[in-house]
Amino acid sequence: MAETIYLKAMTVRDHTDIDMIKKDIKMGMILIVRVGPMAQKDLEGLRKLVDELYAAARTEGADIARLGEERILVTPAAVQIWKPQYDLK
């Protein structure tokens, strides 16, 4: 029987949420991370958070992509995201 993979949608409100996101990445969850509220409050903080999120995903072999204007999608290594020829950064 196949291993269960969970999908989790969450909203990032500030940089303190990064530890929970990293834990979820290590657990192999598929994450839909809404960053709109943080973008409205702290654009520079959001840039730092996205850089850290990108690094954490790469460390775990996860895939990461932007999903529209306000969301980021993170998938475990077994799930690849089709992307046109552009990078998240």
pLDDT of residue 30: 98
Q: What is the pLDDT of residue 79?
A: 93
Q: Which two tokens stand for residue 16?
A: 């303190």
Q: What is the pLDDT of residues 63-87, one digit of tens each?
A: 999 998 899 999 999 999 987 776 6
- pLDDT of 82 reads 87
Cα–Cα dist 35/12, whole Å: 5
Q: How many CB atoms lie within 10 A of CB 80?
A: 10
The whole-angstrom separation of Cα 71 and Cα 60 is: 20
Could you give all domains of the chain from N- to C-terminal order, each with its CATH number? 7-75 (3.30.110.150)
Q: What pLDDT score does 87 carry?
A: 61
Query: What is the predicted pLDDT for the residue at 88?
Result: 56
State which amino acid sits at residue 61.
G
What's the rounded Cα separation, in Å, for the pair 79 and 71?
18
pTM: 0.86
Block means of pLDDT (10 residues each) for the chain, 89 residues, are 88 92 96 94 92 96 93 95 70
Residue 73: φ, ψ to 5°: -110, 130
